[in-house]
Amino acid sequence: MNLELLESFGQNFPEDFDGNLDCVSIAITCAFNRQGTLLAVGCNDGRIVIWDFLTRGIAKFVNAHVHPVCSLSWNRNGHKLLSAATDNTVAIWDVLTGENDKVFRFPSPVLKIQWHPRNR
């Protein structure tokens, strides 16, 4: 068997999680960064909660949207986060500052978003 192919199926993530991440909102969607150290959670109240898996604590709250967040996507280097909500908007966030870089408005809700694989 091809060793490179076999190694690509190796598990670089924990097999199970022995705890819960408590939040005041209802989680709708979530996405890990590439390193698996941060988890962004989109909530029903429009907030994004970023959890630090190294400390098991909340790293940042972002008041992102007016309506529920339905999709999240990290860029390759983990500095930007894309969010889509049922308020017909898609936003780009700077994760370090929590500031909004850009908002795109659409005529209908965007249900799924994804960064271009090469950040273009």
Give the integer Cα–Cα distance in Å for 62 and 26. 15
Helix, coil or strand: residue 5: helix
Q: What is the pLDDT of residue 118?
A: 78
This prediction's pTM: 0.80
Domain boundaries 24-120, corresponding CATH code: 2.120.10.30
Percent of the chain predicted with pLDDT > 70 = 78
* Mean pLDDT estimate for the chain: 85
pLDDT tens per residue across span 28-76:
999 999 999 999 999 999 999 999 988 888 999 999 999 999 999 999 9
Give the integer Cα–Cα distance in Å for 49 and 62. 6
